[in-house]
Amino acid sequence: MVIILENNAKEGQINSVIKRLEDYGFQVHISKGEQRTVIGAIGVKPNFDIRQVKMLDGVADVYRITAPYKLASRSFKEENTVLNIKNVEIGGNHIAMMAGPCSVESKEHIFRMAEVVSKSGAKLLRGGAFKPRTSPYSFQGMGEEGLKIMREAADAYNLLVITEVMEVSQIELIEKYADIFQVGARNMQNFSMLKELGKANLPVLLKRGLSATIEEWLMSAEYILASGNKNVLLCERGIRTFETATRNTFDISAIPVIHKKSHLPIIADPSHATGYRDQVPPMARAAVAAGADGIMIEIHDDPEHAFSDGPQALLPDTYLNLMQELKVIANAIGRTI
């Protein structure tokens, strides 16, 4: 932590800041310039609230120099985390494709979508059986029946199932049917659920919150890791900004930032990030080029009648074409899809 004192800080103020830092257990290094005094406080304290120092008399500013998360950080684990889920690797050289409808809608539909996913060469089928909807009057998901038919469709086409968990009470049930838990943007800071998912047996894909900073997102990953589950995937799905031309703003720079700060795989979701079908392929291509370890895409063969998120769903043919383009881009950067 670096503490910058005010220009006119008095000797007495400086000494009491130093005393306070020492009381907190920091090793203190003082640098006295002509105008200002700067203090370096050394000692790893991930939980330290820097406001404790910011509010002291004579202090102008305080900067943290070590990240508040540990297990999620690249400095804790230098090599990339590579998950192996029933022989499907995520986080290695191969880019994992995940596709499917926003919601599981019916047995016939999820089987048709699974066929498209399998035809594309992807290994993961997405689809929500429990849906976090902005309106309580919107379709809330098929529940256990949805999980059941999604598992059947995935098994019929040799795919893995990724599906959303919205509350602690659903963990046990979803574990019976799924291969990966998805934590939605609206639940990124549902800390009690994150702790329980840390004790669960399946990997967790943690979506970035609607207005979460990268540090807050990594702190949420830390909750899962600290509770014992080391199989965490991060997913950038767009953040809320002042822009209204897109549903969210796709923070594509989060991909290289996560690679630098963390060893965890980073998946990109251009469907929720943009919200409009025509914007999905360009952003998917950009995400592969930016280094995403996986891409999650919503697809539907009758999007006008989709139960949720129809406007952002790709038609099967568009999705299959996109897959061909993504392969070329992946090859250009020495990866495969």
268 part of the interface to ligand PEP, by CB under 6 A:
no
Give contact residues for Mn ion (rule: CB under 5 A).
102, 309
Q: Which is nearer to ligand PEP, 21 or 255 (CB)?
A: 255
Q: Which of 91, 184, 198, 316 binds ligand PEP (CB under 6 A)?
A: 184
Cα Rg of the chain, angstroms: 23
8 Å CB contact between 119 and 156 = no
Q: Name the binder of 273 from ligand PEP, Mn ion, none, CB < 5-8 A by kind.
A: none
**CB of 303: closest distance to ligand PEP in angstroms?**
14
By beta-carbon distance, which residue lies closest to ligand PEP? 184
Whole-angstrom CA distances from 106 to 17, 103, 129, 161 are: 64, 9, 10, 16
Q: Which is nearer to Mn ion, 91 or 275 (CB)?
A: 275
Q: 130 exposed, middle or buried (CB, 10 Å; 0-12, 13-18, 19+)?
A: buried
Q: 36 exposed, middle or buried (CB, 10 Å; 0-12, 13-18, 19+)?
A: middle
Q: How many amino acids of this chain bind ligand PEP (CB under 6 A)?
A: 9
Residue 141 phi/psi, 5-degree rounding, is: 105, 160
DSSP 162-204: EEE--SGGGHHHHHHH-SEEEE-GGGTT-HHHHHHHTTSSS-E
DSSP-derived secondary structure letter, 281: H
b/e per residue, 270-279, with b = 16+ CB within 10 A? bbbbbbebeb
Q: Which is nearer to Mn ion, 1 or 125 (CB)?
A: 125
**CB of 327: closest distance to ligand PEP in angstroms?**
24
Q: Which of 91, 100, 128, 141 binds ligand PEP (CB under 6 A)?
A: 128
Angle between helices 107-120 and 316-332 (to 10 degrees): 30
Q: Which is nearer to ligand PEP, 58 or 303 (CB)?
A: 303
Stretch that binds ligand PEP, among 15-23, 69-77, 179-187, 192-200 (CB under 6 A): 179-187
Which residue, 320, 330, 332, 331, is CA-closest to 121? 320
Q: Which of 185, 194, 283, 295 binds ligand PEP (CB under 6 A)?
A: 185
132 part of the interface to ligand PEP, by CB under 6 A:
yes
Contact letters for ligand PEP, residues 99-118 (x by CB under 6 A): ---x----------------
**CB of 103: closest distance to Mn ion in angstroms?**
7
Q: Which residues bind ligand PEP (CB under 6 A)?
A: 102, 128, 132, 184-186, 207, 237, 272
